[in-house]
Each structure stands twice: as C-alpha cells, then as structure tokens.
Amino acid sequence: MTAVTLHRDGRALTECKPFTWSYSKLKNYETCPMRHQELDLKQAWKQDDTTALDWGDRVHKCAAAYLGKGEELPGDVLDMLEPWTDRIKGTPGTILVERKYALKRDLSPCGYFDKGVWFRGVADVLKLADDVALAVDWKTGKIQADSVQLALMAACVFAHHPEVMKMRTEFIWLQHDATTREDFARTDLPKIWSELFPRVDRLESSYNSGTYEPKPNKLCAAYCPVATCIHYGKRYSNPAT
C-alpha cells in the first residue's frame, strides 16, 4: 500500500498549497466561508448558466484589444465601450491592459506566479502619466461598489510602479453608463493595509485549519449551489453578521 501524508484537516499534503488570496476570494469568504470553500477552493460546483460571464469576458477582451492593440470595437459593444475607451485615450500617458499584479507577504512586488506570492490582482486598464495613474475595472453587472477592490488596485500599482504618487481608481458600470471613483495617495497605504490585515488573517486562519462554517445570507435561497449546506434554499432577508 502507498502511504499518504495528511494535513491536519485531512487533505493530502500535496494539496496543501501555500496560502494565497485575491479580492474575490476574500469577498466570497466573508459572504459565506463554506460557499467559498466549495466554489473557490474545491471548485466542486460549476455555474449552469454562463451567459452573463461569457458576455463579461467578451466585453473585457474587446476593450483590451482596442486599447492595447488598436483593433476596432465590434458593433455589439461599440456604443457601450467607445465613450469610455475614448476618454481613457484622450489624455497623455501610457496605456496598459489586463495587467496581472502580485505581492509577497511583506507587500513587496513579485511576478504573478512567483514563489512566495501572497496576493494576486488584475487591472483591466492602467494608464501611467509620470507620477500619477488611472486604474479602471470594467463592470457589466449591476452597481455594487466596493472600495476594498479599488484600494487593492491602488496598492498593487503603488508597489509595482514606485514613481506613482497619486492615482484614481474607477469601476466603470457599462450597463448603466456610470462610474464609481476613488482617489488614493501613496501615503494612504498604511491605512489600506491596517484595515485589510485583520480580514485576511481570518481568511488565512480558516485555510490553515480547514474550517469553513456556513453563514446564512441572501444568496442561500436561489444563488448558491451548495446543496449540502443546512441553509440551502432558505430565504434570509439580510446577510448574517
């Protein structure tokens, strides 16, 4: 028989990768730890209807091809994207698209797949102009602004581009022709991380222990596929605290 070395939560040791996180993992964990484990870590469930995801991917690819390669915008996204992409192009600076950023635990910059990576994030569009920058995240769903994601974009840019002192971050809500903006200075970094560290610590604690308790929330009734959860299919008007 072949001996199997197990982690303390029962996982085979080869499955116990070093802890890494992203904004989406943190958000999903805080919504419901069990749902996060099943969908993000085990990837035990797949979404049946991917129409919205496919559309979002297409919009992102079209915007990246236009801003990054100079390709024409297809007709089905032209009216929605062109006013925003032309605004981005209309000021001086260098435009970068689909930029993958990563940080080590000490908050120093590293490659996306480097050994020792701790956090990963992606900027859909980044515009650099001397000591200022603009980071844009395209959104194709309903407006659900979250300043944490914007702050993390800023933190990554400050780490990887030491010349940048100030920047604007934006969600562009394409279906609503609207934008959510937040400005950051490099001096804001201590505050950003002091607010995030306790939340990330809780996520990492669950990862190390393998403990992901279910948390009733508004997704339970119809938007969570984890049928083994005791809250599955139940209706809760407000997220649990």
- Segment 93-119 shows an average pLDDT of 97
| pLDDT on residue 48 | 62
Mean per-residue pLDDT over the chain, rounded: 90
- Please tell me which residue, 134 or 238, carries the higher pLDDT value: 134
DSSP string for the chain:
-----B-TTS-BGGG-PPP-B-HHHHHHHHH-HHHHIIIIIS-----S--HHHHHHHHHHHHHHHHHHH-PPPPHHHHHHHHHHHHHHHTSSSEEEEEEEEEEETTS-EE-TT-TTEEEEEEEEEEEEETTEEEEEEEE-SS----HHHHHHHHHHHHHH-TT--EEEEEEEETTTTEEEEEEEEGGGHHHHHHHHHHHHHHHHHHHHHT-------TTTTTS---TTSTTTT---SS---
Is residue 130 very low, low, confident or very high in pLDDT (cuts 50, 70, 90)? very high
| pLDDT on residue 11 | 58
Residue position matching structure tokens 């809760």: 236
- Segment 161-176 shows an average pLDDT of 97
pLDDT in tens, 40-63: 888 877 666 577 888 999 999 999
- Segment 124-138 shows an average pLDDT of 97
Q: Which two tokens stand for residue 234?
A: 């139940």
| pLDDT on residue 52 | 80
Query: Please, what sign has the CA dihedral across residues 132, 192, 122, 58?
Result: negative
Residue 80 has pLDDT above 70, yes or no: yes
Q: How much of the chain exceeds pLDDT 90, in percent?
A: 76
- Segment 225-234 shows an average pLDDT of 90
Is residue 21 very low, low, confident or very high in pLDDT (cuts 50, 70, 90)? very high
Please enumerate in sequence order all residues whose Cβ is within 8 A of that of 143, keeping only pairs 6 or more positions apart, or say none: 173, 176, 178, 180
| pLDDT on residue 49 | 59
Residue 240 has pLDDT above 50, yes or no: no
Please enumerate in sequence order all residues whose Cβ is within 8 A of that of 102, keeping only pairs 6 or more positions apart, or say none: 109, 110, 111, 112, 113, 114, 117, 118, 119, 120, 121, 156
Residue 102 has pLDDT above 70, yes or no: yes
| Separation of first and last alpha carbons in the chain | 47
Is residue 146 very low, low, confident or very high in pLDDT (cuts 50, 70, 90)? confident
| pLDDT on residue 6 | 54
- Segment 101-121 shows an average pLDDT of 97
| pLDDT on residue 115 | 92
Residue 199 has pLDDT above 70, yes or no: yes
Pick among 3.10.28, 3.40.140, 1.10.3470, 3.40.1350: CATH of 50-209: 3.40.1350
**Domain layout of the chain by residue ranges:** 50-209
For the stretch 168-179, what's the b/e string if a residue is b when 16 or more beta carbons lie within 10 angstroms of its beta carbon?
A: bbbbbbbeeeeb
Using alpha carbons only, how large is the chain's radius of gyration in Å?
20
| pLDDT on residue 47 | 63
Residue 1 has pLDDT above 60, yes or no: no
